[in-house]
Each structure stands twice: as C-alpha cells, then as structure tokens.
Chain A
Amino acid sequence: MRGTAPWFRISVVLVTGCAVLLPLGIILYQSFLDAPFFQPSVKLSLSAFQFVLADRDFHRAFATTAVIALGMAAIAVPVGSLLAFLLVRTDLPGRNWLEPVVLIPIFLSPVVLGFGYVVSAGPVGFFSLWAKQVFGSVPWNLYSLASLTWIAGLTHIPYVYLYTSSALRALSADLEEAAAVAGAGAVRIAFTVSLPMVRPAILYSGVLVFFLGFEVFGLALILGDPGGLLVLSTYLFKLTNRLGVPSYQLMAVVAVVIVAIAFPLVYLQRRLLRASSRFVTLRGKGLSQRPLMLGRWRWAGFGLVVVWLCVTVLLPLSGVFLRSFVSSWGEGVRLAEVATLENFRQLLDYPNLVRGITNTLILAVFGGAVAVGCYALIGLALHRWQSGWARTLDYLVMVPRGMPGLVAGLAFLWVFLFVKPLAPLRNTLFSIWLAYSVVWLAYGMRLISSALLQVSPELEEAGHIMGASRGQVTRDVTLPLIRFGLLGSWLLVFMIFVREYSTGVYLLGPGTEVIGSLIVSLWSTGAIDIVAALSVVNVLLVAIGLAVALRLGVRLHG
C-alpha cells in the first residue's frame, strides 16, 4: 500500500518472530541432543529421532490421533458452520439466548468435560444404568475410538461456530437479498451464497480444529484410558516417565513432528485462498442485515440445535453438576442418600481459591484483551502486504500450537530461565500471559485476519483520498469494520484462557494460581468431588459474566 511505513510492519514481524521462535528454537535444538540441553556433557545426536520413530507406541498413537483429528474436522466443520448460519442469519426461535449457551463446551476444562461424560454415560453412568434397565444392557461404549472422536468433534463445534459466525456478521446482505429476490429459500441461500462467501473462515476453522485434534489431551486421558487408546499427547505423557527420568529430547521430537505437520497445512490453506479478493464482502454499498425467514425449516433448525446442545452441553454438565452434589455415585448408589453440600463447603476452605479465581479472571478478561490488541497489530501489519515477510509470518503464526501443552510449558520455562532479561518476570502473571498468547496466536489472529479479508480496499482508499493518514484510516475505517472479528477473537481468547493450564504449568507458582491448575492438582490427588464443585462454580461464573456483559450492552452481534 502506498505511503505505509515498512518499519512498522517489519518490527511487528520481528517481535512476533522472536516470541514464537525462541521457545520453538529451544525445542528444535533439544530434539537433536542426547540429554537436556543445559547439561554440560550434552552431545549432538539423532538418537531421539531414532527412538521415537522406531517406537511402536508412537506409530499407534500417531494413527489414532490422525483419525481423531480428521473425524473432528469432519464433524465440527459442517455442523458448526450450519449452526452459525442458523443463529446469525435466520429467524431461528430463541437465537439470542442460544448463542452464549452454544459456547459453553469451550469453557470447561476437557478433563472435567470428559469426566462429566463418564458420570452420565460411562459404564455405570446414570443414563447408562437407566438404559440398562430399559434395554437390558448399555447400548453404547463410551470408551471406544468412535465415541472419543464424536465427543471431540461435537465439543469443538464452538470453535467453528465462532469463526464462521463472526464472518457471517460482516457479510453484507446484498448477496443474500439478491438470492431471496430470485426466489431461493433460506436453506438454498445458506449452501449456495452465505456459507460459500465465508469460505476462508470455515476453511481456517477446519484447519485449526484438525490441528487441535493433535492436542486433545484431557478427553483422551479420561475416555481413552480404560480402552487403552493412545494419542500423541498421552504418548508424550508416557515419554515423561517411560525412562524413569523425563527425557526432554524424546518429547522434543514429538513436538517437532507435529510442528512439521503444520507447514503443509498452512501451505494448503494459502493455496486455497489465493484469490482472496473473491471473499471481499464489506463493500462501499452495504445493506442492513435482515434475518432470513426459515419458514417450515424454522423448528427443524431449532430441533437440530437443541439435540446438539443436549449431547454436548447437557449430558456432560449434568454429570458434573450431579457429581458436585453427591458424595458417591454409580452402581448400587441411591442418590437421595448421598446428596450433600459438603463438596462446596470444602471448596470454600480450599487455600488460594479466591486468588485462583481472581487471577483467572484478570488473565482472561484483561490479558485476553491485550492479547487481542497484539493480534490486531499483527493482522494490520500483514493487511494488504504482498511480501516475503508476510508469507513468513503466516507460517510462524501457526507453529506454536504445534507444540503440545506439556512441551510448550517446558519451553517457556526455559525461555524465562535462560533469557536473562526476562528472568525477573518469571513469577508474575505476565509470563503466563505471554505463554498463553503465543501458543494461541493462530487461533486469536485468524478471526481478525479473516475479518480483514472481507474489507474491500475501496473503503480504505476513500479514506486516503480524503487525505487521511494511514493511522487515521486504520482507526476510523478498518478497525470499526472488523469489530466483529475483534470481538469474536476476544471472546475466544477469553474462553481459552479461562481453562488453559498445561502451557503455564511450569510458570505457575504461589500468587499466580489459576483455576485450571487448581483443577489439575486436585484431580491428581483424587479430590474429584471438589473438582466437580469447582467446575460448577466455574460454569456459573462464566454464565453470570456473560449475562452481565450482555445486559450492559456488550453485544455479541450488531
């Protein structure tokens, strides 16, 4: 673009590059060593690669993970984008209150979500026991690969929903109106006009969900354990102990393999979106959006949403809620006899609970906002910039999530230990914020960059013609136009930060506890009753927060 200051763009690229490459570089270097990199006797070696690549468990884990990731994308992308269309563009009944509900699955720690399924639909879950009475046996197996894939797919729908819905909101209505005038019904418009127009967002979300498939840990741990299912992240967990002492080089190799998968994915994405001008939908002349009439499909659409909510929200949440109010459950237990409020009482006594909740909220609300600010800077720096720098950054953004949480956590610990200028910040919330923001970079940024993709150049050019500087155009034209992208990004980052844990595990300490870490440390010692109570509190807090925000006029849509 004319008159832009390349120093701004280049410095953004350099700072982002540092934040991404520092932890990644350590991991890459570590994968080619035969011992921890800080040991004096360490030597360069390919032995770690040889060990992992020859390990039968690794092959098994890799295959299972690929199946789960593909299945997740195949389930989440169509259902999620359809859901977004229904809630954003049509007159679906109850769409205003449905929206926050749809997002619930990403608030919950996957460990808790998985556990909720065990309580409700596991071998002795209450639905299963009921089904056993009716059918004589339990007609499903929660611990199979198919169940794991379905549950992972269904619970990742909110991601696709967020990406697609924020793109749909920025879709100007003229195209749909034209189709409606030409006589197309709502369903036809969805599949031939609206959804194809937001293809970049859908595609991005597909790639990101596929990639999240490589990260599935909590669900796999809870639902995969009894059936002996091994995925890459649980394999990694195994590697930390397999040889007695943690073997960083082996863990690094697994991370490097996953990062390597990211490159062809980004390449594919770039190829598919080469003609990005086709997706410009925010033009000079826009019409205000009117919801499309669903007609006879109205209640069918509503039914679809409700069924999905039952399976992904009601089923696991009812398990968690139930567990929080009883001392025991399962076969041979009469719930009336074990009902108790004791779990909540114990939760109140838990040391550092209030600080954990406060820290989590600070991190999620303010940290989330700051992270979105940074993502927006990166997005703007890349905006309409045809250059090698921009291409490089496209790849850079994606790779941090290639590091599984366990490994990313270690990498960030090392960054804060061995990069001396950063060392004083190690025991502050900043270190955790930085780790979270870098790892989830791709996820927050894509919402912003696909919003930017929708803005037609003519709008910004009009500003330039009027004599506005680049800064003014950005502030008064571009940013307001991508507000849905920014808001969606903030919402996503908020939700991720509320339940993220593994990335920060080595940076957390007294004073910087977060809910995620409390849940995991309670879980491992068996205080599952308190975990359930804490999760209920967590869900209520988030629900209250959302309700207050909506009341105060923070609108999820325009």
Chain B
Amino acid sequence: MAMTRGFTKALPLLMAFFAAAYSRAADPTRPATSPQILAAAEKEGKIVIYSTTDSVAAAPLLKDFGALYPKITVEYNDMNSTEIYNRFLSEAAAGGGSADLLWSSAMDLQIKLANDGNALAYQSPEAAHLPAWAVWKNEAFGTTFEPIAFVYNKRLLKPEEVPHSHAELIKLLKANPERFKGKVTSYDPERSGIGFLLITQDARTDPAFAEAAKAYGKVGVKLYPSTGAMMERILSGEHLIGFNMIGSYAIAKQRKDPSLGVVYPKDYTLVMSRIAIIPKMAKRPNAGKVFLDYLLSSRGQEIIGNKAALFSIRPDVQGETTAATLNKEMGSSLKPIPVSPSLLVYLDQSKRLEFLKQWQEALGTK
C-alpha cells in the first residue's frame, strides 16, 4: 500500500520529467528550465508580472507562453516605470504579495531595486546565451536590444538633409537655424527617467556633447515626457526630427505609417535593454523563473525580435529587429548601456540635480 502510494505520488513527477526530456529533444528552442522548477511553477499555477511593455506589444509573447505552459496563468499588468517602482516598494513594505517578475525599461530603477537587495539570484540556464554586459550578479537580466535612434518626418525632411550621425545633426541645425526653430524634439530628462538615462549616456559617449546641447538650445528643442507624443508630433509636421527616440517604438510606428523615418546614428548608437528581475519576496518564485527563462530562450527571443519588434538580444536569433542584424550593420558603433551598478551614479540626488542644472545651462533655458 505504502509503496503504491509513494509510486503514485512520484508518477506525475516522473512523467513530467520524461515529457520535458522528450520535448526538449524534439524542440531545441524550448526554454531549458529544469523540470523541478517547472513542476514547482505549475504547482504555483500563476504568475503576476509588472511591466512597462504595453499589453499590445506583449500579447504575442503572452499567447505563446500560454501555449507552452498552459498550467501557468499569466496576470500581466502594464504600467509606467514609476508606477512599477512605487507599487512594488509599497507592497513590499506592507508584506503580502507583489509581483513575481518586474520587467521594466527604467534600467536604473531596476538596478537600484536589485542593488538594494530586492532581487532573487537565479542562475538561469538561458543566461549563458546573453552578452556578458546584459547580466548582473544573476539578479538583473537584460532582455532586449533596443537601439536609440533619430526619428524624422519623411514628407518634410529632404533625403539629402537626413543626418546620419550626431555631428551631422548638429551641422544641419546650425546651418538652418530658422527652418529648425521649434522643430526638434526629445525626451525631457527632468520628467522622464529613460530620457535622463539617455542624455547622461550621450554626455559620457559624445566628445562634442557640450556643442550639441548648445545647438539643441539654439533651435529651442521641445522636450516631452513620452515617446508617443513626440512621434505623433513629428508625423504631423509640428516637429521635424527627434533624437534619443526608442527604436523599437519607432519601428512599430513606422510599420503603420511609412512616412516616419528612422536612422541609427553612425558615430554611436546607444542601446537600451528592458531589465527583468525576480523579486526576493515573490510569492511564486518558480513561476517567475520559468517566465524569465522563457523571455531569454530562443523561442521567447524569436517573438521579442520578430513579432513584438522589441529587438532580441540573443546573438543566435535572426531577423530584421535583432541584435544579430544590428551588429552586422553597425558593428562597433553600437554602445549598449550595461546592466550594472554604474547606472546608479545619477540616482545620487546632488549629482543628478547638478547634471540637470548643467544641461539646462547648456540649452540656455535657465
């Protein structure tokens, strides 16, 4: 009797193991999650995700995940990066549940959460396929490879005017101050975390940054807190060109409206990555691990790159919007922002305010 019961208990596990082993052999794109973790995750039955990727872009990913792991229901919350951070911290402080996976484009806030001891360390079997700069301490994982681009209005900017590097953009603005007055747009670093991150990276990467800032100031650059407003205003002709625009959004928009032009600057193109972390206090850590493995697997990356247009980060995934293609075309001019504590420098209050002050002085707005 006792033996039979033990065997009946072990049977599903055993079957799961063989099933996993079998399907793995059959399908090399399947995430390499260990059968134990998968079984535990299926027992948890659910995963709660807080994410900045909107549900439309994430839909193909979630659909495929559901097909692969029908026993794990996904509760997907899309919100902006500040909301994720606030909600998570408050929920963590109150005890009781929060998300099982945080997936956000605010790289600095994600690293801060990890650095403050909120992230669970997990040796994802898929992480070995990522570039070294994209993984920090097995706690924070870069999941996408999104180039930062110039975006312009193809109807109103002549092909010969289109700048292909930061230097060319500055030259263009300096040569036609009247034509570009109030026609250039970008993120407002004071109101947008990602905007701040990008402009500080510019300051670090571009030797002519001071001159660039002055030129932006001269034409009265218009600063907004979100990409949506900027692209709409570029497309309508209210503005002509925008810099530091997130390439994935621009490509998605371009597929709907071909009059949007996208240029990856040749001197340097910054690359940002959506960072995923599994919170230490996650109620369903195994489900979090399964989803993370899925995000990083070639199956998940295939969808990230080719269906969601978020640019896959794995070098072994091919397609138009992938790191592989970008690397082939751009080579060393790609400057990925590393997933590392160097992102924390400007979360220091006085350094941040000082940078903003300098930026505004360079623009001539203060």
Q: Residues on A close to B: CB < 8 A?
A: 36, 38-39, 118-119, 122-124, 221-222, 225-226, 228, 237-238, 240-246, 327-333, 342, 350-352, 410, 413-414, 417-418, 423, 505-506, 509-510, 521-530
Contact = CB atoms under 8 A, between A and B. Distances in A.
7 contacts: A225-B223, A242-B356, A330-B236, A330-B238, A350-B56, A522-B54, A524-B80
B228 interface: yes
B59 interface: yes
B347 A328 contact: no
Contacts of A333: 155, 236-237, 259
B238 A39 contact: no
Contacts of A521: 54-55, 78-80
Contact of B86 (A225, A228, A506, A524): A506
B113 to A, nearest CB: 10
A525 B227 contact: yes
In order of increasing CB-CB distance, the 6 nearest A-B pairs are: A330-B236, A331-B237, A526-B228, A38-B93, A417-B94, A244-B347
Contacts of A505: 79, 83
B259 A328 contact: yes
A238 B346 CA distance: 16
B76 interface: yes
B165 interface: no
Interface residues of B, number: 62
A64 to B, nearest CB: 16
Residue among B94, B196, B231, B253 with most chain A CB within 10 A: B94
A510 B82 contact: no
A525 B249 contact: yes
A472 to B, nearest CB: 46
Contacts of B231: 526
Residue among B90, B91, B256 with most chain A CB within 10 A: B90
Contacts of A417: 90-91, 93-94, 96
Given A225-B229, A244-B349, A36 B89 contact: yes
Contacts, number: 156
A442 to B, nearest CB: 26
B174 interface: no
Given A225-B224, A244-B193, A414 B249 contact: no
A237 to B, nearest CB: 6
Given A237-B191, A244-B196, A524 B226 contact: yes
B256 A525 contact: no
Nearest to A530: B56
A226 B222 CA distance: 6
Interface in B219-253: 222-229, 231-233, 235-238, 249, 252-253
B109 interface: yes
Given A417-B94, A505-B83, A525-B57, A330 B196 contact: no
A328 B192 contact: no
B192 A332 contact: no
B228 A525 contact: yes
Nearest to B49: A510
Given A413-B87, A506-B83, A506-B86, A332 B155 contact: yes
Contacts of B252: 526
Contacts of A413: 86-87, 90
Contacts of A418: 94
Contacts of A226: 182, 222, 233, 238
B352 interface: yes
B237 A527 contact: no
Nearest to A327: B257
Nearest to B81: A241
B54 A527 contact: yes
A305 to B, nearest CB: 32
A526 B96 contact: no
Contact of A526 (B155, B222, B253): B253
A38 B57 contact: no
Contacts of B227: 524-526
B216 interface: no
B108 interface: yes
A332 B156 contact: yes
A501 to B, nearest CB: 12
A414 B259 CA distance: 46
B320 to A, nearest CB: 20
A221 B191 CA distance: 12
B349 A243 contact: yes
Nearest to A329: B236
A240 B190 CA distance: 9
Interface string B30-70: 00000000000000000000000011110100000000000
Interface string B113-133: 000000000000000000000
Contact of A351 (B59, B193, B226, B237): B59
B108 A244 contact: yes
Contacts of B349: 243-244
Contacts of A122: 236, 238
Contacts of A237: 191, 225
Nearest to B80: A524
B355 to A, nearest CB: 10
Contacts of B224: 225
Nearest to A413: B90
A124 B77 contact: no
Given A243-B353, A332-B237, A510 B76 contact: yes
Contacts of B257: 327-328
A526 B53 CA distance: 12
A38 B76 contact: no
Nearest to B225: A237
B75 interface: yes
Interface in B254-269: 256-257, 259
B91 A241 contact: no
A327 B75 contact: no
A440 B223 CA distance: 33
Contacts of B356: 242
B307 to A, nearest CB: 14
Nearest to B193: A241
Contact of A331 (B86, B156, B232): B156
A524 B90 contact: no
B85 interface: yes
Nearest to A37: B93
Given A244-B346, A332-B155, A352 B55 contact: yes
Contacts of B75: 509-510
Contacts of A350: 55-56
Nearest to B230: A526
A342 B257 CA distance: 11
A527 B57 CA distance: 11
A423 B253 CA distance: 40
Contacts of B77: 509-510
A228 B360 CA distance: 13
A133 to B, nearest CB: 15
Nearest to A419: B94
Contact of A36 (B55, B56, B76, B93): B93
Given A242-B190, A521-B79, A528 B236 contact: no
A124 B228 contact: no
Nearest to B356: A242
Nearest to A125: B236
B283 interface: no
B214 interface: no
B280 interface: no
Contacts of B190: 238, 241-242
Contact of A423 (B57, B96, B156): B96
B63 to A, nearest CB: 10
B112 interface: yes
Nearest to A330: B236
